[in-house]
Amino acid sequence: MSSEVGKVLPGLILFLIGLIIWCSETYSDAQIAVFWRDMSSDFYSKRGASIRRLAWTLFAISSGTGILLDSAGAPHSLVLIIAILGLLFLLIAVLYFLPLPVPHCIDAQWQWHKRQGFLDENRQIIAPTPSQVNTLTFTFGDISMSLTATMELPDTWRALSLPNPKAILTPQIPPIVNATSAHPRSPLDDALFVAVGIPEKTTGFRPNFIVTIDLMGESPIPLDEIIPGWMTIEQTRFPIPSDDTLMTTGLYVDEGLSYTAIQWTWTQTVSNRTVRLYATATATTTSINSIADQLPRMLETLQVIS
């Protein structure tokens, strides 16, 4: 008996550790969970893979437990039940090589998207949008201009499909994006591209990155003339996406919540006409650091063409 225990127990402990890892990957965003997700990309990218891993692990644990109980003289009925349970897990592992639906409660992808606020009104996953393309038509006097905007996004951002965005993704629009127009109107009226990130846990505010256009192409309006209480922290030249890009960073308070905004503005020639473009990122002041390193990479991939 001791010989069998010595052979089975280390493997049983190993599979129990595997079960703990599976649980952390599926239900947690702790650093160790992020590490294991990075180490096992197929677990995250293929929905059936996570179920197969769980089923294989439970099969191995059931087998090891059955051997230990049998060696300890447990009732045969109990050992039989555990053996049948193990075979059931084995069957599930085999079946999930087929494209079967995955229950949400044990679906690693669904659970991750739920935690990040990327489920739609029907509780379906809002898929990543790394190649979102928006083509919109703008009118200036008797001139009609069709522009296409694209931008590469990290996994934790989603692009809105304009002009029909998913309601759950439509960002709370702070007044800063009105800097492209001196007249009261929806900031999304001039939007070429809109992306939103993961909602902040305490406030629910989604950081947003909005690209807008000013067909006048005039000098940018100072932000402190538009936003009550605006305080500029820094204003400097920025080499992306144009040599004349001006980057302004500042903060303001709206309804008791502090926001930090970073706005890039530059001129660009499209359809033989010089227009001014704005790219404005807004987040709560407490969460801006979590996205700050992503913004320049997103801006670098932005393309606006006619």
State the CATH number of the domain containing residue 141.
Answer: 3.40.1000.10
CA angle in degrees (0–180, nearest 5) for 279-137-147: 50
Please tell me the predicted confidence (pLDDT) of residue 270.
81
Asked whether 178 and 187 are in contact (CB, 8 A), the reply is yes
Give the pLDDT of residue 182: 44
pTM: 0.80
| Residue 90 sits in the same domain as residue 165 | no
Distance of CA 284 to the CA centre of its chain: 17
Please count the other Cβ atoms lying within 10 Å of the Cβ belonging to residue 4.
Answer: 13
Same domain, 155 and 296: yes
- Is 284 a domain residue? yes
Is the backbone peptide bond immediately before 163 cis, with ω within 30 degrees of 0? Answer: yes
Which uninterrupted H or E stretch holds 234?
strand 231-238
Last residue of a domain, one of 56, 87, 115: 115
Cα separation of 73 and 276, whole Å?
81
Clarify whether residues 63 and 154 are in a common domain. Answer: no
User: Tokens 């049983």 map to which residue?
Assistant: 12
Alpha helices (runs of H) in the chain, residue ranges in sequence order: 2-27, 31-39, 41-45, 47-71, 76-95, 108-115, 288-291, 295-301
Q: What distance in Å separates the CA atoms of residue 111 and residue 109, rounded to the nearest whole number?
A: 5
Do both 146 and 234 map to the same domain? yes
What pLDDT is stored for residue 140 in this prediction? 67
Report the candidate in 58, 53, 48 with the shortest Cα–Cα distance to residue 97.
Answer: 48
What letters, b where the CB count within 10 A reaches 16 and e where it falls short, cover 145-167? bebebbbbbeeebbbbebeebee
Type of residue at 238? F
Q: Residue 248: which domain range?
A: 133-305
For residue 227 the two structure tokens come to 């936003």
**Of 115, 145, 162, which residue is a domain's last?**
115
Note the pLDDT of residue 222.
Answer: 78
Q: Is 252 among the domain residues?
A: yes
pLDDT in tens, the chain (306 residues): 555 566 677 777 878 888 888 888 888 888 887 777 776 655 455 667 878 888 888 888 888 888 777 777 778 888 888 888 889 988 998 998 888 888 999 888 899 999 999 998 889 999 888 878 888 887 766 777 788 899 999 989 999 988 777 888 888 775 554 444 444 456 677 789 999 999 998 898 999 999 988 877 777 877 777 778 899 999 999 999 888 899 999 999 988 899 999 999 999 888 778 888 999 999 999 999 999 999 999 999 999 888
Q: Supply the pLDDT for residue 179.
A: 47
DSSP 221: P
Is position 156 within any domain? yes
Residues 109 and 232 in one domain: no
Classify the phi-psi angles of 64: left when phi > 0, otherwise alpha if psi is within -120 to 50, otherwise beta: alpha
Domain count of the chain?
Answer: 2
Candidates 277, 156, 257; CA nearest to 208 is 156
- Check whether residue 68 and residue 163 sit in a common domain: no
